[in-house]
Homo-oligomer: A and B are copies of this chain.
Amino acid sequence: MRSDTGRDGGRTFTERARREQILACAVEAIAELGYARASLAEIARRAGVSKGVVSYYFPGKDRLLEQVVADVYTRAGAAIAAATAGRTGAAFLRAYLEANLGFLADHPADIRAVTEIVMNLRGPDGAPRFAPTGEDPVLGHLEQMLRDGQQAGEFRDFDARSMAVLLRGAVDTASGRLVTDPGFDLAAYTRELMATAELATRRVR
On A, residues with C-beta under 8 Å from B are 32-37, 116, 119-120, 122, 126, 128, 131-134, 136, 158-159, 161-163, 165-166, 168-170, 172-174, 176-177, 180-185, 188-189, 191-193, 195-196, 199-200
Contact = CB atoms under 8 A, between A and B. Distances in A.
Contact of A189 (B134, B165, B174, B184): B165
A199 B163 CA distance: 13
Say how many copies of this protein the assembly contains.
4
Given A162-B189, A191-B159, A133 B182 contact: yes
Contacts of A189: 159, 162, 165-166
A88 B136 CA distance: 38
A64 to B, nearest CB: 16
B169 A173 contact: yes
Contacts of A199: 199-200
A121 to B, nearest CB: 9
A169 B36 CA distance: 23
B174 A192 contact: no
Contacts of A191: 159, 162
A127 to B, nearest CB: 9
A56 B205 CA distance: 64
Contacts of A195: 158, 200
CB-CB nearest 8 A-B residue pairs: A169-B173, A131-B180, A162-B192, A196-B200, A134-B183, A162-B189, A199-B199, A159-B188
Contacts of A161: 185, 188
A177 B132 contact: yes
